[in-house]
Chains A and B, each alone.
Chain A
Amino acid sequence: MPGENLIAVLILLPFAVGLLGLAVRDEKVRRPLVIAASLALMAASVALLFTVLGRGTVTFSPSEAWEMPITILDFAMLAYFLYIGITSRHVLVTALTLGQWVLFPLLKYSVLPAGYEVERVFRVDLLAVVMGLIISVVGSLIVIYALDYMREHEKHLKLSRTRQPVFFLFLIGLLGAMNGLVFANSILWLFFFWEITTLCCYHLIRHDLTSEAQASALRALWMNLVGAVACVLGMILVFRSAGTLALDEISAAGTVGPALLLPLALFCLTGFTKAAQVPWQSWLLGAMVAPTPVSALLHSSTMVKAGVYLVLRLAPSFEGTLLSAAVAVFGAFVFMTTALVAISQRVSKRVLAYSTISNLGLIICCAGINTDLAIAAAIALIIFHAVSKGMLFLAVGAIEQQIESRDIEDMEGLVSRLPLITGAAIVGMITMLFLPFGAVFAKWASMEAAAVPISPWFPLVVTFLAVGSAATLVFWSKWIGRLMSNLIVARKEEKAERRPFFAYGALLVLVSTAVVLSVFIVPLMSLLVMPAGQEMGYGVPFDTSGWQLRTALGTFSPWPLFAAVLVAIVLPALFIRVRRDELQPAYLCGENVAADPVSFRAVADVPVTAATGGVYWQRAFGENQLNNWINGAGILLLAALFAGVMM
């Protein structure tokens, strides 16, 4: 199939399947339909990969007949946002939409010449392919997982009439919109798909229709609309000074003149809002009220990744400018502060959310550092974060449905109650946290990239990265510790682990992907990540001979590291045996009660049950303590970014 058709399939198929599901409404039809469509999306994205590897960048412009319907849809969405704003009496949503009602027609009918369209509407290079693979493979696995999850979810809510058709329309539709967004070369089209992702996100968050869900959805909406206004403003300014709305022409110009810096900064702002960077992190945290597949999708392969994608896509055009340095400082700041706040969180999904924001900050920081090495690190991190984080959300969702809690304190010793899923979650966390897994490889690369003094601000960037890296260690380790503690054998009355096929299948595929990609990181870097950077105009940072990743500054050798981890953890886990008579109750500073291994006799011989609990250091790292400072500093940094660009 030629590349153009693959692009069309990847964008249109999800919408078609979603609408078909809406029309048919029967679960017996929807399940096979969704599974078939997901497999088709995965296959198409892989086919597109080989097409682009073989033939190079694919470009494609749809016929001009599309122009009218797209414009109508653009305005229809604006009308719909206005309707939401007015009916829910939300001042910000209304005001921001009205702002777009002024700016968007201004752009369309006053700034742009009549019938303007860029030469290559869609342009699929390797970066777009990488994004497309993440969206279509990780995203589709999440959609498959949702089949089992939503059945259970609705059973739990005791709905009289299923709302799954609507849910799946927006869930799969989001994949199509994301594919469109990353394939678009025309910023007008990118903006169109961008708005669809906002729309899907709004509906997915408010899906359960509780008052909390509705409030969170509105918050997500207005924050994303801030980005949309910035994007339209950016388009107006960029066309005024560069005379084009094509991404490739903007970045092909090399580093741009000062006149283009302001619109580029506005586009970065658009990316920051979608990627939930400080001070907009609250929309992503609020999005946690939605069913878990939504969180998984928003966090790993769609939505927030659109934000970092946009910044990364524009990086070549602001290389070496003050904007670049400001983006690096800002990203590193977000990386550090959100990792610190994550330490104090005891709701599992909130830990995952803060960790997502933190990692996105690191990607943005890399885009700002803007060297060969940093860009390769950013792309690698996008891939590994998508796989590991998607998997972790799926695991937490499945755990939540079985223990009916998302509190980490209720997960004490879960590894002995739900061994399969908890084991997978622990492996998932380790892939985010430790060598030699890909996410930490990317952290290593970004740290080394940040240490090179290319801007006067690098000491600040590298310090933020070092402290943030340590904070990351704390919140993951604590959580892993909670999952593993209390190894008393599962009590009889407890239910056995339910293992729904599609949910567990999707999850285990993602865990193995995270491990396999890490083992084969050298070919991954040399075949995909570095060529993607080269197409963007960057150099080759790694010498990959001898199965190592060697830069001018340092070396990362994955296989010896894997051998060490194998000897350290896998082998002892397989071979260490303990005889029954060697097992002793823990030391409890009193006389242990013979019948109960966790009770001891304290004062007056009264038996006391020993309890352990997690520590969250609320007074040091709590949201109440830190949020105002973080948001204040974030706003200041952004203000400095714009002030610097305009001077």
Chain B
Amino acid sequence: MLYDILALVLAIFVAPVAGGLLRGVDRRLTARLQGRIGPPILQPFYDFFKLLGKSRLVSSRENLIWAWAYLVLTVAALILFSLGQDLLVIFFMLAFAGASLAFGAFSVKSPYSHFGAYREIMQMLSYEPILLLAAVAIFLETGSFMVADVLSHGGPLLVFLPLAFLAVLIALGIKMRKSPFDIAASEHAHQEIVRGVYTEYSGPFLALIELTHWYELMLILGFIALFWAQPLWLGALLALGCFILEILIDNIAARLRWSWMVGVSWVLGVGLLLANIVIIQVAGYGPGL
């Protein structure tokens, strides 16, 4: 019980702070890679509170409802994760959250917003099979879909699931909306005026979406940490390493077409996972067998 309350506090209050800080690191690191000085690490929080104070400009009421839904459903997924719940349920919840972002963009009559929504859906088509199959691969190693059981599982999963891990990195790139996968909206240093799925959001509701991204980032990094769950600090380091790797890739890659993204995720991502699952099956290890 006490542990559950602690987990809830972590998920609801600590995760966004950590996520915001990581976004600050991201912006600073990106700036350095581009030869700029970059903003202070706390800049995402300054932006967030500034946005909160702006007056509301609204294109449609539904737009706001779905932005709110995006936040609540993402937080719900993170809470499920921190309470050690079922991985597939968490990913289905995350899919609902992602679709809410697209629904919000659809509920305004703006072509840019609609383009973004369709591309957001395409991004989901790309990473969803990877996440689901990664959960299956983890199940085959640990004998359970429950995060709690995966955490208490002894050996480091990364050793047995190296190919699955590579596939999850593709999903991480898409979920972080980093180049070459920032298809639904450009993420790059916010230089573009027309930002696809976010075009119609401003002020407090843009802040809400930014906050959701922080939660989302923590959830997906938490999932990566599961690949080295014992001791957990190693898993955290692993997740941090992947985060920095994504920033590097982001800065050396250009945005590409959606068809390329789906192709890479399905052929490479799903292929790697399938290969890993078959290897587990043939080698016959893991209590799931």
Contact = CB atoms under 8 A, between A and B. Distances in A.
Contacts of B199: 586-587
Interface in B80-129: 85-89, 92-93, 95-96, 99-100, 102-103, 105-114, 117-118, 121-122, 124-126, 128-129
Contacts of B87: 554
Interface stretch (B13-21, B219-227, B236-244, B270-278): B270-278
Contacts, number: 207
Given A434-B92, A487-B107, A564-B93, A451 B62 contact: no
Interface string B247-289: 0000000000001001000100010011001100100000011
Most buried by B among A435, A447, A458: A435
Contacts of A443: 92
A484 B107 contact: yes
Contact of B270 (A456, A463, A484, A578): A463
Contact of B113 (A469, A585, A586): A586
Contact of B194 (A447, A552, A587): A587
With most chain B CB atoms within 10 A of its CB, the pick from A481, A553, A576 is A481
A553 B111 contact: no
A589 B112 contact: yes
B108 A487 contact: yes
Interface string A553-578: 11111000100110111001100111
Contacts of B161: none
A351 to B, nearest CB: 14
A620 B257 CA distance: 13
Contacts of A587: 59, 110, 112, 194, 199-200
Contact of B88 (A444, A484, A485): A444
Among A470, A553, A557, A586, chain B packs the most CB atoms within 10 A around the CB of A470
B288 A452 contact: yes
Nearest to A589: B194
Given A469-B132, A478-B121, A572 B109 contact: no
Interface stretch (A61-69, A84-92, A151-159, A607-615): A607-615
Interface string A460-486: 101101110111011001101110111
Given A447-B88, A572-B64, A610-B110, A459 B125 contact: no
A583 B278 CA distance: 55
B190 interface: no
Nearest to A484: B107
A474 B123 CA distance: 10
Nearest to A485: B106
A479 to B, nearest CB: 10
Nearest to A478: B121
B219 to A, nearest CB: 14
Contact of A610 (B111, B126, B266): B111
A584 interface: yes
The interface size bin for chain A is: 35 or more
B70 to A, nearest CB: 8
Given A434-B92, A482-B106, A578-B61, A555 B146 contact: yes
B109 A488 contact: yes
Contacts of B85: 555, 557
Contacts of B274: 459-460, 463
A459 B100 contact: no
A385 to B, nearest CB: 17
Interface in B152-209: 194, 199-200
Interface residues of B, number: 71
B110 A586 contact: yes
A588 interface: yes
B9 interface: no
A582 B140 contact: no
B133 interface: yes
A115 to B, nearest CB: 52
Nearest to A460: B274
B128 A466 contact: yes
A434 B99 contact: yes
Given A487-B109, A553-B145, A576 B65 contact: yes
Given A481-B102, A587-B200, A620-B259, A469 B129 contact: yes
A440 interface: yes
B277 A459 contact: yes
B239 to A, nearest CB: 23
A567 B277 CA distance: 38
A48 B262 CA distance: 50
A148 interface: no
A582 B204 CA distance: 13
A378 B230 CA distance: 37
A477 B128 contact: no
Interface string A420-464: 000000000000011100001001100110011100101110110
Contacts of B95: 434, 473
A467 B59 contact: no
Interface centre among A458, A564, A576 (most CB of B within 10 A): A564
Interface of A: 413, 433-435, 440, 443-444, 447-448, 451-453, 456, 458-460, 462-463, 465-467, 469-471, 473-474, 477-478, 480-482, 484-488, 552-557, 561, 564-565, 567-569, 572-573, 576-578, 582-589, 597-598, 610-612, 615, 620
15 contacts: A435-B96, A444-B88, A452-B288, A474-B124, A478-B121, A481-B102, A481-B106, A484-B106, A484-B107, A486-B109, A561-B76, A567-B72, A578-B61, A612-B110, A620-B259
Q: Which 5 A-B pairs have the closest CB atoms?
A: A481-B106, A586-B110, A554-B145, A470-B128, A568-B72
